[in-house]
Amino acid sequence: MTHTATEAAGQTDVPQARALAADTITLVRRWLTEASKVPVDASAEQLAGVLKDPNGLDFTVGFVDGVVRPEDLTVAARNLAALAPKVPAFLPWYMRSAVRLGGTMAPVLPQVVIPIARRVLREMVGHLIVDATDAKLGPAIAKIRKDGIKLNVNLLGEAVLGEHEASRRLAGTHTLLARPDVDYVSIKVSSTVAPHSAWAFDEAVEHVVEKLTPLFAKAASFPKAKFINLDMEEYKDLDMTIAVFTRILDKPEFKNLEAGIVLQAYLPDALSAMIRLQDWAAERRANGGAAIKVRVVKGANLPMEHVESSLHDWPLATWHTKQDSDTNYKRVINYSLHPDRINNVRIGVAGHNLFDIAFAWLLAKQRGIADTAQQSIEFEMLLGMAQGQAEAVKKDVGSLLLYTPVVHPAEFDVAIAYLIRRLEEGASQDNFMSAVFELSENEVLFEREQRRFLASLDTLDDEVPRPTGSRTVASRRSPCRMTPSRTPRTPTRRCPPTAPGAAPSWTVSRPPRWATPRSPPPPSVTPTPSTPSSPPPSRRARPGVP
């Protein structure tokens, strides 16, 4: 089904949503007051202090990359010696002294100093990541889970480059799902199979469906079915993840199984993807099937998307500004939290921005869909982040779902990417998390975040943004600059019409049959140096997408 902007997002009461601004700010202030009364975890306080230091992020990232990751202890020791003079001033004197002493002694006794240094870091970030060993995981889950707290467990790992690692990661998720204390897991399509050819979309979808179907069957086999959430990071996986998700749940044996998928609001494609899922879920419900859930996040893969765009001279897949991303987040929430839609697609409001959380909660109450018993809307946060604020929010909304990353100690280095992302979020001045520990006492920071919220709310509308491929009409890299390639790897593109309001027109050559995950490619063909490489089909609009 195709939609005009009015048809797709109509009756979303944008003026009424904007009218919630004052109540949202009042609710945030109340939550901050309540949160300030909750004791702060010592490790979280130390980590927050490090990130407030001007050298904190550089030191911490350097420590993680230079001291934790190297397998050679001598290399790690040399790096620690270089980092020691940059130790953040916020740390207690005894920790600063220990780091400097460790830097001096590490080159001499690396086998003694480096394991100690690594253990200190693990303790500092231990509130963010859970030990996946049987002896530690059970007690950790029991401690975290309490009244109104549920866990979304995600097994961390390195980027999957081959079938062996993919099979190992999938087996690990099977093991987690089989535990009696785990009833909700997340897994990425990109963690399920080895990298696939972008030109073999249908074949790759079939391959992933084949791999994931047993996991969904296991979830459905329990007396009370367990929940699987399909996660994603890179824009190139968006269409594939949706296709895999709907293909699996279209199987007759999963008609009554509820499952979830994530959408990233920093993609202009997010609302059109939500509309596609809403249409599909409405038909599923009309046929007697279960609802689905969509977890709405801002998105956390921005640096990699910039790299992809720069390397290939492709249009940037994300919005260009933080405010545009914030507005799009509200646009998706505003469309989704509607009485006619919420029975088809439950919504997970994920993130730590208190203004966005308060806005979504008040919007749900305004529209009569905030009944906690129905769980039409769930609020989701990260394990160990801003725990006082999480507790204050939980008192109002009734429950929280905590995204809970787990990793085996021997593979702690695979958690590096996750940790770096959390650290960068905490240090970036563009991110709400940079102010999260000071909002209640620093009025300047509160005003900054309030202005950002109001600015994003002021630009809220009923429009359905064009997906990234269609957006190239107005992008800095117009597709008219492309010289159509005659190679089998590059699709033929013609320039979109330039008449005002005209929709772009694409002609894509059919990919050759050799382009499948299971067959070797022919000798590589390099595009003409004078023209940028053409993006694969996953970076352009698909037929039927508004």
Domain positions in the chain: 8-34+127-458, 42-124, 478-510
Contact assessment for residue 157 and residue 169, using Cβ atoms and an 8 Å cutoff = yes
Q: Is the pLDDT of residue 540 over 50?
A: no
Greater confidence, 425 or 273?
273
Per-residue confidence (pLDDT) for residue 481, from 0 to 100: 33
Residues 6+ apart with CB under 8 A from 527: 485, 487, 489, 490, 533, 534
Per-residue confidence (pLDDT) for residue 468, from 0 to 100: 67
Whats the size of the chain, residue-wise?
546
Greater confidence, 82 or 27?
27
Greater confidence, 431 or 523?
431
Q: Is the pLDDT of residue 515 over 60?
A: no
Q: How far apart are CA 123 and CA 268, in angstroms?
A: 39
Per-residue confidence (pLDDT) for residue 33, from 0 to 100: 92
Contact assessment for residue 25 and residue 33, using Cβ atoms and an 8 Å cutoff = no
H or E element at residue 365? helix 354-366
Residue type, 320: H
Residue 225: other Cβ atoms inside 10 A: 18
Q: Is the pLDDT of residue 516 over 80?
A: no
Sign of CA dihedral 168, 169, 172, 174: negative
The lowest-confidence range among 39-43, 105-109, 183-187 is 39-43
Per-residue confidence (pLDDT) for residue 195, from 0 to 100: 83
Q: Nearest CA to 91 among 83, 79, 99?
A: 99
Per-residue confidence (pLDDT) for residue 4, from 0 to 100: 42
Per-residue confidence (pLDDT) for residue 372, from 0 to 100: 57
Instruction: Give the confidence band of 313 by pLDDT, cuts at 50, 70, 90.
Output: confident
Greater confidence, 523 or 338?
338
Contact assessment for residue 257 and residue 212, using Cβ atoms and an 8 Å cutoff = no
Q: List the structure tokens of 302.
A: 């921005």
Q: How far apart are CA 418 and CA 385, in angstroms?
A: 13
Q: List the structure tokens of 14.
A: 């944008």
Per-residue confidence (pLDDT) for residue 86, from 0 to 100: 81
The answer to whether the pTM exceeds 0.75 is yes
Q: Report strand pairing: 292-297 vs 260-264.
A: parallel
Per-residue confidence (pLDDT) for residue 3, from 0 to 100: 46
The CA distances from residue 98 to 95, 116, 157, 172, 434, in Å, are 5, 10, 31, 37, 27
Per-residue confidence (pLDDT) for residue 513, from 0 to 100: 32
pLDDT, tens digit, 9 for 90 and up, residues 438-474: 788 889 989 999 999 999 999 999 889 887 655 433 3
Contact assessment for residue 372 and residue 399, using Cβ atoms and an 8 Å cutoff = yes
Q: Nearest CA to 453 among 542, 376, 355, 540?
A: 355
Contact assessment for residue 66 and residue 59, using Cβ atoms and an 8 Å cutoff = no
Report, as an integer, the average pLDDT of 75-101: 81
Instruction: Give the confidence band of 490 by pLDDT, cuts at 50, 70, 90.
Output: very low
Instruction: Give the confidence band of 508 by pLDDT, cuts at 50, 70, 90.
Output: very low
Contact assessment for residue 265 and residue 325, using Cβ atoms and an 8 Å cutoff = yes
Q: How many CA atoms lie within 13 A of 222 on its CB side?
A: 18
DSSP 341-359: TTTTEEEEEE-S-HHHHHH
Q: Is the pLDDT of residue 44 over 50?
A: yes
Q: List the structure tokens of 390.
A: 């999480």
Instruction: Give the confidence band of 228 by pLDDT, cuts at 50, 70, 90.
Output: very high
Helix ranges (DSSP H) in 222-269: 238-249
Q: How far apart are CA 428 and CA 426, in angstroms?
A: 6
Helix ranges (DSSP H) in 250-353: 270-286, 302-312, 322-336
Report how far Cα 505 is from the mean position of its chain's Cα atoms.
Answer: 31
Q: Looking at the structure, give the CATH architecture of the domain made up of residues 8-34+127-458.
A: Alpha-Beta Barrel (3.20)
Kindly provide the b/e burial profile for residues 269-307, where b requires at least 16 CB atoms within 10 angstroms of the residue's own CB.
Answer: bbbbbbbbbbbbbbebeeeebbbbbbbbbbbebbeebee
Instruction: Give the confidence band of 163 by pLDDT, cuts at 50, 70, 90.
Output: confident
Percent of the chain past pLDDT 70, that is, above it, reads 79
Return the ∠ at Cα 222 (arms to 224 and 248), rounded to 5°.
95
The lowest-confidence range among 263-277, 317-331, 459-473 is 459-473
Percent of the chain past pLDDT 90, that is, above it, reads 41
Per-residue confidence (pLDDT) for residue 474, from 0 to 100: 36
Supply the mean pLDDT for the chain.
Answer: 79
H or E element at residue 131? strand 130-131
Instruction: Give the confidence band of 290 by pLDDT, cuts at 50, 70, 90.
Output: very high
Of the ranges 43-52, 76-85, 173-182, 400-409, the best mean pLDDT one: 173-182
DSSP 51-69: HHSTTHHHHHHHHIIIIIS
Kindly provide the b/e burial profile for residues 377-405, where b requires at least 16 CB atoms within 10 angstroms of the residue's own CB.
Answer: bbbbbbbbbbbbbbbbbbebbeebbbbbb
Q: Is the pLDDT of residue 156 over 90?
A: no
Per-residue confidence (pLDDT) for residue 267, from 0 to 100: 92
The CA distances from residue 237 to 305, 351, 497, 544, in Å, are 12, 21, 28, 18
Rg, C-alpha atoms of the chain: 24
